[in-house]
Amino acid sequence: MTAAPGPSKTAAPVDDADVPRWWRELGLPGLVDVHVHFLPPNIQRAVWEVFDRAGPKIGRPWPIRYRGPMEQRVEQLRALGVRRFGTMPYAHRPGVAAYLNEWAREFAADVPEALWCATLYPEPEVARYVPELVGAGVEAWKVHVQVGEFRLDDPVLDPAWGALADAGTPVVVHAGSGPVGNAFTGPEPLRRVLARHPRLTVVVAHLGAPEYAEFLDLAERFERTHLDTTMVFTDFFSEIGDAGPFPDDLLPRLADLGPKVLLGSDFPTIPYPYAHQLEALVRLREREPRLDDDWLREVCWHTPARLVGGGGAAS
């Protein structure tokens, strides 16, 4: 049974072991973290090698905190009290999406807390497999244009966006130019997609860093456009490449968005303890009083649970 909401200034978690205390004092049954990655082992290794080399799409050294076996990472999320989490595969070239989508389907079938996630790419088959997977019950999608190097408004994708807009299935989109931008990042391609498909349910990853104001504009304008908090406000993220710190003068607009902001972490490929993301969110009340415990309840449970479901209650 969920406890009554805690005091108005619940103390931030001091480490990962303290995270369950924190969400219980907030009166929550746990956390919902859509922006989590589980990938096939061969692709996971390749992704981590890019981070280990601090490659051109990374921009700085990035020591990975949670790089144990897959089963260990699942148990770490369970210990934190994450009741639902994503797999968030993302295709980086033609022909990869089908492989990733099948692997993610099998992973979600084996891990009850995992969302069945899928990805897409501008390829001829996308007009077929997106509606098929929507009909089969995919719960969330991930698109990463910085890695995939394609435009969201590529005409090949238009039937896919239409199918997803009709279904209401959330799409987590890394469209911001952080950590290092390229010709495919930025708000304009997404703005054009939303102008054509205004009912598309979008979650802009990383609050759209570093184009924070522009992606806030989209969330304010389009009813189903959301933002996730992934890595933003952490000490590490404010020093990454093009990202930079979230400006103080935008915090009132973030508070005004209400239930359109949701928790993200980028677990396991983060260079600090999971608890630090939560502590960084708690610190925001020092800069904007309306980003208080009620706001944290929306971000960490109510908003993502409305989008993808909340899973089981706390044990």
pLDDT number for residue 312:
53
Coil, strand or helix at 35:
coil
| CB neighbours of residue 239 within 10 Å | 13
Q: 30 near 300, Cβ under 8 Å?
A: no
Structure tokens at 115: 């969302």
Q: Taking all residues of the chain, what is their mean pLDDT, rounded to a whole number?
A: 93
Q: What is the CATH number of domain 20-308?
A: 3.20.20.140
The amino acid that residue 108 corresponds to is: A
With a cut of 50, say whether residue 314 has pLDDT above it: no
What φ, ψ does residue 33 adopt, rounded to 5°? -125, 95
Residues 220-239 have pLDDT tens digits of 999 999 999 999 999 998 77
Structure tokens at 258: 């209400």
pLDDT number for residue 280:
97
Residue 240: partners with Cβ closer than 8 Å, 6 or more residues away: 59, 60, 178, 179, 231
Averaged pLDDT, 122-140: 97
pLDDT number for residue 241:
56
Q: Which helix (H) or strand (E) holds 143?
A: strand 140-144
The amino acid that residue 33 corresponds to is: D
Averaged pLDDT, 108-119: 98
Averaged pLDDT, 128-150: 96
Q: Which residue has the tokens 């989508």?
A: 101
pLDDT band per the 50, 70, 90 thresholds, residue 242 = low
Please tell me the distance from the alpha carbon of residue 205 to that of residue 72, in angstroms, as a whole number: 25
Residues 34-60 have pLDDT tens digits of 999 999 999 999 999 989 988 666 778
Please tell me the distance from the alpha carbon of residue 235 to that of residue 276, in angstroms, as a whole number: 9
With a cut of 60, say whether residue 130 has pLDDT above it: yes
Q: 85 near 115, Cβ under 8 Å?
A: yes
Structure tokens at 295: 């706001």
pLDDT > 90 fraction of the chain, expressed in percent and rounded: 86
